[in-house]
Structure 1
Amino acid sequence: MTTNSWHSILVIYLASLALDWSLEMGIHLEKSAYLALAGNFLRSNELSKVIDVVKEMVKSQHSLGVYHGAMLIHMLGFGRRPSLAAEALDLLPDDQKGLSAYTALMDVYISAGSPEKAMKILGEMREREIMPSLGTYDVLLSGLEKTSDFQRETSSLRKEQKSLVASTRFREIVHVEDKICM
């Protein structure tokens, strides 16, 4: 093994040890420590450990934030772990389960070849009265166009997207989450 391989193994081991020790001792870490641990586990592809870190963050009443939450969902999906991405969404407080987090999870499901789950997430999002952005439509349409099972939904989504484009031209205020999903 190379020196870099040993270094990576040691860093992962020490990060796991730090997390386990804090859990065992009942110690709540600072937000930056949780984020550093999550980053180490993401880089080493220890994705289930990332979820453990996020659970502890939530217990310690630290917030991932809208951006980090959506990025985490996206990265877990990129690691081909859609179930962990869905779990990450569930761990977010309701006020952070917004447009960017839902769009990220839809992208995960589309990438995993499960457009029906992406459509279910769209339904949940609409039930919470969160309106899709142009980026949300792009994600859905790119995945649904590859399958013949959702032709009616694809047509409907395309009409909604065109309507949103027309109304967005006259909108003066663009929300942060809309910018993230563009």
Structure 2
Amino acid sequence: MTTNSWHSILVIYLASLALDYSLEMGIHLEKSAYLALAGNFLRSNELSKVIDVVKEMVKSQHSLGVYHGAMLIHMLGFGRRPSLAAEALDLLPDDQKGLSAYTALMDVYISAGSPEKAMKILGEMREREIMPSLGTYDVLLSGLEKTSDFQRETSSLRKEQKSLVASTRFRENVHVEDKICM
């Protein structure tokens, strides 16, 4: 093994020890420490450990934030772990379960070949009265166009997207989450 390989193994081992020790001793860490641990686990593809870190962050009343929450969902999906991505969404406080987090999870499901789950997430999002952005429509349409099972939904989504394009041209204020999903 090379020196870099040993270094990577040691870093992950120490990160695991730090997390386990803080859990065992009931120590709540600073937000930056949790983010550093999550980053180490993401880089080493220890994705279930990332969820453990996020759970502890939530218990310690630290917030991932809208951007980090959506990025985490996206990265867990990129790691081919849609169930962990869904769990990450569930761990977010309600005020952070917004457009970008839902769109990220829809993208995860589309990439995993589960467009029906993406459509279910769209339904949940709408129940919470969160309106899709152009990016949300792009994600859904790119996945739904690959299957013949959702022709009616694809047509309906395409009409909604065109309507949104027409109405957004005249909007002066664009919400931050809309910008993240564009």
Alignment-derived partner of residue 127 in structure 2? 127
Structure 1 runs not aligned, ≥5 long: none
Give 1:87 shift.
0.1
Question: How far apart in 2 are the matches of 1:12 and 1:37?
Answer: 9
Question: How far apart in 2 are the matches of 1:24 and 1:158?
Answer: 51
Scaled by the length of structure 2, what TM-score is found? 1.00
Question: How far apart in 1 are the matches of 2:67 and 2:164?
Answer: 23
Question: How far apart in 2 are the matches of 1:177 and 1:56?
Answer: 26
User: Cα deviations across residues 27-81 of structure 1 (Å, max 9, x unaligned)?
Assistant: 0000000000000000000000000000000000000000000000000000000
Structure 2 runs not aligned, ≥5 long: none
Which secondary structure does the structure 1 equivalent of 2:173 belong to? Answer: coil
Question: How far apart in 2 are the matches of 1:25 and 1:47?
Answer: 23
Which secondary structure does the structure 2 equivalent of 1:123 belong to? Answer: helix
Question: How far apart in 2 are the matches of 1:4 and 1:105?
Answer: 33
Give 1:114 shift.
0.1
Question: How far apart in 2 are the matches of 1:121 and 1:26?
Answer: 35
Question: How far apart in 1 are the matches of 2:25 and 2:154?
Answer: 52
Which secondary structure does the structure 2 equivalent of 1:136 belong to? Answer: helix
Question: How far apart in 2 are the matches of 1:8 and 1:57?
Answer: 24
Give 1:25 shift.
0.4
Q: Is it true that 1:31 corresponds to 2:34 in the alignment?
A: no
Question: Identity percentage over the alignment?
Answer: 99
Give 1:10 shift.
0.2
Which secondary structure does the structure 2 equivalent of 1:131 belong to? Answer: coil
Question: How far apart in 2 are the matches of 1:66 and 1:20?
Answer: 27
User: Cα deviations across residues 109-146 of structure 1 (Å, max 9, x unaligned)?
Assistant: 00000000000000000000000000000000000000
Question: How far apart in 2 are the matches of 1:83 and 1:123?
Answer: 18
Scaled by the length of structure 1, what TM-score is found? 1.00
How many residues get paired?
182
Alignment-derived partner of residue 111 in structure 1? 111
Which secondary structure does the structure 1 equivalent of 2:130 belong to? Answer: coil
Alignment-derived partner of residue 97 in structure 1? 97
